[in-house]
Amino acid sequence: MSASSTARPGRARKILRGFANALIIAGSLLLLDALLTLVWEEPVSSTYAHFQQNELSGELDRLEKIPLTPVERKAIVKLPDPKKKLAFAARALDRRTDDGDAVGRLRIERIGLSSVVLEGTNADDLRRGPGHYPSTALPGQRGTVAIAGHRTTYGAPFRKIDKVRTGDDIVVTMPYGRFTYRVERTRIVKPTDVWVVDDRSYDRLVLTACHPLYSAAQRIVVFARLVRSEPRGSAA
């Protein structure tokens, strides 16, 4: 038997051994990813969301420094009622923002949440952070303010939303005002129950997310009533 013929099986075994080791490493990484997703959140998309939140935070800082136009400024100073000033400032913000733009910050102390909220709830928007339903009011306007967020991927901002309790405060800070909402109840509904974002006779905040974890079979919805509003920025 020639030397070349005996070398070939040796090389084949090395290749197979290397392939097997690669499969073991890949399997271990997949298992680690699954475990992290189970006990915390999906790590790859969460890293993406982290960078996106940093970018949105910068956008929000810049947005807060943009003054009203001379016409808007002249109009808002003539409004004696602080609530009307807030509503005016909300409309002004709505005119200068598009889907994907940062609009405010959402804080829930109970679950350690502090996330920049952007306008829009399509798939691309929610990969970057909690998204404001464009069809609903902005804080300061009359009606329902609705925000959606992920629970297991892309930073999972609403992962612990089921831990929010009646009586907890939820704070939404906009460039023109700070709004405190008090949780009244949490409900599990069907994905088709769009009535959850309908307007009521009072101002409220609605947070929505898929339920249970790792499933989109249902929706968990937190309902909170506005209890305090404080003008800031252009509305102060």
pLDDT, one tens digit per residue, over 88-99 is: 999 999 999 999
Helix (H, G, I), strand (E, B) or coil at 183: strand
Q: Provide the annotated active-site residues.
A: 150, 210
> Which of 167, 141, 157, 144 has the alpha carbon at shortest distance from 209?
157
DSSP state, residue 90 = H
Extract the tokens encoding 161: 């939303």
Question: Between helices 70-77 and 82-96, what is the axis angle to 10°?
Answer: 160
Please provide the CATH number assigned to the domain covering 40-235: 2.40.260.10
Beta-bridged to residue 185, according to DSSP, are 223
Euclidean distance between CA atoms 60 and 119, whole angstroms? 12
Q: Quick one: pLDDT at residue 9?
A: 64
Q: What is the 3-state secondary structure (H, E, C) of 108-149?
A: EHHHCEEEEEEECCCHHHHCCCCEECCCCCCCCCCCEEEEEC
Q: Quick one: pLDDT at residue 14?
A: 66
pTM: 0.83
Extract the tokens encoding 54: 């940093």
Question: pLDDT in tens for each of the 236 residues of the chain?
Answer: 555 555 566 666 666 666 666 555 544 433 434 444 444 458 889 999 999 999 999 999 999 999 999 999 999 999 989 999 999 999 999 999 999 999 999 999 999 999 999 999 999 999 999 999 999 999 999 999 999 999 999 999 999 999 999 999 999 999 999 999 999 999 999 999 999 999 999 999 999 999 999 999 999 999 999 999 999 998 98
Q: Which residue has the tokens 């399997």?
A: 27
For residues 86 and 176, the answer to whether their CB atoms sit within 8 Å is yes
For residues 163 and 111, the answer to whether their CB atoms sit within 8 Å is yes
Q: Tens digits of per-residue pLDDT, 173-219?
A: 999 999 999 999 999 999 999 999 999 999 999 999 999 999 999 99
Q: Quick one: pLDDT at residue 12?
A: 65
Q: Under 8 Å CB-to-CB from 41, ≥6 apart: which residues?
A: 152, 153, 155, 156, 159
Q: CA end-to-end span of the chain, whole Å? A: 92
